[in-house]
Structure 1
Amino acid sequence: MSRYWTEPPFKHGSETRTGVLLVNLGTPDAPTAAALRPYLKQFLSDPRVVEIPRLIWWPILNGIILNTRPKASARKYASVWMDEGSPLKVHTERQAKLLAGYLLKAGHGELDIAYAMRYGKPSIADTLNGMRSRGCTRILVVPMYPQYSASTTATVIDEVGRCLAHWRNQPEIRFVRSFQDDPGYIAALVASVREHWAVHGEPDRLLLSFHGVPRRSLDLGDPYHCECHKTGRLVAEGLGVAPERVLVTFQSRFGKAEWLKPYTQPTLEALAAQGVGRVDVMCPGFVADCLETLEEIAMECKEAFLEKGGKVFHYIPCLNERHEWMQALSELTCRHLGHWLEIQAPDAAAREASATRARALGAAR
């Protein structure tokens, strides 16, 4: 039996396309326990996400977690669910559509723009197959994680590789590894904070809360911790505020092992106990609002801060569809597409310019 999947028949002279695939973490299909169970199983079965030997982890996952956690998680999802669906999926879909518009305005309307979820739907496999059917032979994959981590960015790269492993006619592939210090991304974060402060005034402290990962990942060489702190430093510099007013913290712990510190909720509770009256919290590691920002931060952490004596808590939304962010994403995409834009360019002048540069490079050699 062939190890290759069935593919569209190759046609000589077929016009090829360049595609851009945005990939975010994922979401269940509905805020119900029945929908959460397969989603959580796929997510928590990924060895990049849970680095516990399968022999130990499998009974825990299937015997305990998948029998208890879906119901509790479903209630949380229900509290943030939008009319159009899961916030993460809604915002990611909007971002893909807007990106196509921004690229069209920049003269690149011929690009094929798609989005997928690493876990859940639309899957990376289905989306790549769709791009193949539309003639994409060059694909830029953009994991929507500004800071690189093996448990996020690397697992997207893994999955793309698994999907293409059985393709006979594989496309050229490029990946955006991270963009934690991209000037446009930083400027978008700064603009969001400034806009919020222009309306509400400045807080006593600004917390930049990033998704947590086990401390062990840092010890094993994962750059995530350092990249989060770099983003935090650049945001503070962009805002022009004293470094001590901006704190980098980590949220969403799971299990009993030590994770990256300081933890977000305990930090908020400590600030309240110290008499800090107002805090603003932003989540720069998420470019789209989701359960972890809307429920964990804007609801749970707010309640914890106020219960410990804090006076005012503001959550500053993720970048979502902000103009500054969409412009930055468009520019980031174009930089990584590089000469593919010239290959795809429909006008003769652009093609001739590309050929001229190629001839000049050949002559220089």
Structure 2
Amino acid sequence: MTTYSRRPGRTERLVLPGVLTVEEAAETVAGIAAVQREDGAIPWFRGHHLDPWDHVEAAMALDAAGEHGRAEAAYRWLAEHQNADGSWYAAYADGAAEEVTDRGRETNFTAYVAVGVWHHYLATGDDAFLDRMWPVVYAAMEFVLGLQQPGGQIGWKREPDGRAVPEALLTGCSSIYQALRCALAIAEHREEPQPDWELAVGLLGHAIRHHPERFLDKSRYSMDWYYPVLAGALTGEAAKRRIEADWDRFVVPGLGVRCVVPNPWVTGGESCELALALWVMGESDRAVEILRWIGHLRADNGMYWTGYVFADQAVWPEEQTSWTAGALLLAVAALGGDEATMAVFGGEGLPTGLEPDCCG
């Protein structure tokens, strides 16, 4: 792994007034780089675990900062440690592939590789990379779709003993919806049609938009509120209605976004993701405001505390996660016009699949 270099040109695209200066962006990128292991793995922080979803999120942030070699190393780690069934385990101690701490295989964790791979390709134009990663993406999607239910929703995971958990999570399925669309974009680019995936993403999108009863009730969590918008399943007026309906329930003016109600706890990751969802809706001003609010979570080293319990005026937990910093950089990149980041989150150029004949 090469040493991170704070060259001026690397982070000038990540400048956002009131959120990040070029120097602050460089500090944050350096913080993520410092967490990354020599083998490419990016745990939450050194000594904590790696999960595949947050690993990809951090890798995407590195790509947005121009650290393409580091991002490619992160995807190489996934390619080298993919399970035979196309999945990854839910947690690895400090990113050590031989030290699995959770042998569950979660569908949304597995699917997210497609978003990262397509983002890296759009950022670099590296066809050789896409050729190497296509079998990885294909196997991951096949694992995920093996848990799709007749109603379109996708079961949460396979247990360590192989038993499928058919219950579906709205946040996880929304993330999978975005990932399937990116996987289809890769397939189209390679001229390798995947009609089964087109049917699957159409069914999944329909379930997210029209059948809330097909998902476990996690409505206390802000992610279930904004993720259908962030992932592109809800757009236009439907997206705006959803965000406005629960704005006052989840948003704490001046501080950020609650993780879960009624807990007096705002979190950086959820705040950055809401900002991305607002950008997707075309509401950049509100997105920037949210990102300015969470400046209070920025640590002296350029990383971000996971959350803040405002009732106690205390940072909690006392950890600075690579994925919180990654979410912040990706939100700034989208607002700043980074083309690859805009493409995977804006979604205008991503395939939408085939909508089922349902519900009249």
TM-score by length of 2: 0.30
Would you tell me which structure has more strand in proportion to its own residues?
Answer: 1
Q: Structure 1 length as normaliser, TM-score? A: 0.29
Q: Which has the larger radius of gyration?
A: 1
